[in-house]
Chains A and B, each alone.
Chain A
Amino acid sequence: MYEFQLIQSTGFRNHGPEGARDGVEIRLRLPNYRGMRLSLLDGIDVTLDGEFFSHEVTSLIVGGRMYDLAAMRDATTVRWAMGEHASVFVPKPGGLLPGIHHVKVAARVRSPYFPPHLQPLPVHAERLATIVLP
């Protein structure tokens, strides 16, 4: 089961080896009411404590693999299924200090059945979330 909000509490953590963190992971629930193939997700914009990271530099970790924007656009046979967690990888050398951080995301979902001018349509969420370990 997911936590109700898009940005999950659990799974918000630093990424990479301890002492040599290369970024931050933000776990999300599926930003859609149906499972979707990754090529329908045109990346995810992230803002951490006011610092903006474009969907062109973030990646998605799903099913144990990491997809940058180009790989996402090519992933026409990989599904992010309903009920499955995925994490956004934000490249930020050193990561974040333990404590409470302001996290904002915009998941750029392409829904082919929406009018062309509404694609992609960003799914927005923001909240305070907690990093436990350095």
Chain B
Amino acid sequence: MEDRFKYGVSLYSFTEDFGSVMSIEEGFDHIADTGATGIEILGETHVTGYPTPDKAWLDRWFGLLDRTGLEPTNMCSWVDTKLRLGQSLSVDEGAAELVRDLTLAHQLGFKFLRPKFGVISADLVPDPIWAPAVERVLDLAHKLDIVICPEIHSPTPINHPVVHGYIDFIERTGTKNFALLIDTGIFQDRPLKSWVHEVPEGDSDHAKLINGMKVNPEELVGIAPYIAFIQAKFHHIDDNLHDENIPWEKVIPVLKRIGYTGYLSSEYEGVREPWVAIDQVRRQHVLLRRLEAACDAVPA
């Protein structure tokens, strides 16, 4: 049905497995077996020979897409504004990083590119070069049919100057090739029980990460036209299919109400051990599909 979500998985979910107990072939198989239709990757992690993979790797990539029937969704990238100590990237250099990744994303068949810009403050205000750098590559993104989507990620809530800045940019340029990616970690409303993140003790951002930002999912309504992609961030779904941190029962109905029909791309970021994420992702797909079916069963 046209008005349904699309289900995907990010290979990032398998960060603790990938490269030591899991190859890219196995990653594809785990994703395909959830019934998902889309695969999300991190360019700099999952593409051997990044940013210019050789023909053998490209053949392998397209062979895996054919074999599993998965479609490439979003490729995550970075604009490393602090590549050098004490000297930030220029606008030219920032635009070149975006060109590099747009080119690769297009070559691999992706429709979305998530650049993570370097930041200049504790609440993750992106380096101001982001806007002129993106503006320079909008024509290329249009030509390649790719939407560039920065992510709204904890500790940045929806109602924040950073998000307002992105929306102002979209309105000012009128572009269809820049939009928002929502990381559902912003809706986390209960503390993580088991995740030890590499952030110093007592840091306030650390507290936000551990306890959750508790953004009200209703706030999605106000930014609905700008949402291009959703990373379905989660940390732990228990043996009773209950998510311990993310209130999906509040998030999913809002997404249905605003008519979102894009991807929900699983992004497991729980306990950092191998062999955990594979089944956690499967649990999440059952949970999300159940909630969607329940919404669909209610006459509008």
Contact = CB atoms under 8 A, between A and B. Distances in A.
A26 B50 CA distance: 25
| Most chain B beta-carbon contacts within 10 A, residue among A1, A33, A36, A115 | A115
A63 to B, nearest CB: 13
B48 interface: yes
B124 A1 contact: no
B83 A116 contact: no
A116 B121 contact: yes
Interface residues of B, number: 38
Contacts of A4: 20-21, 274
A73 B20 contact: no
A35 to B, nearest CB: 4
B4 to A, nearest CB: 31
A123 B198 contact: yes
A73 B20 CA distance: 28
Given A29-B19, A39-B83, A114 B119 contact: yes
A62 interface: no
B205 interface: yes
Interface in A11-50: 29-30, 33-37, 39-40, 42
Given A34-B44, A115-B124, A81 B50 contact: yes
Given A112-B83, A113-B124, 15 more contacts: A1-B19, A2-B20, A33-B12, A73-B85, A82-B45, A83-B48, A112-B82, A112-B119, A113-B116, A115-B122, A116-B120, A116-B121, A118-B200, A121-B198, A121-B199
**4 nearest A-B pairs in the assembled complex, by CB-CB distance:** A112-B118, A112-B82, A34-B44, A115-B122
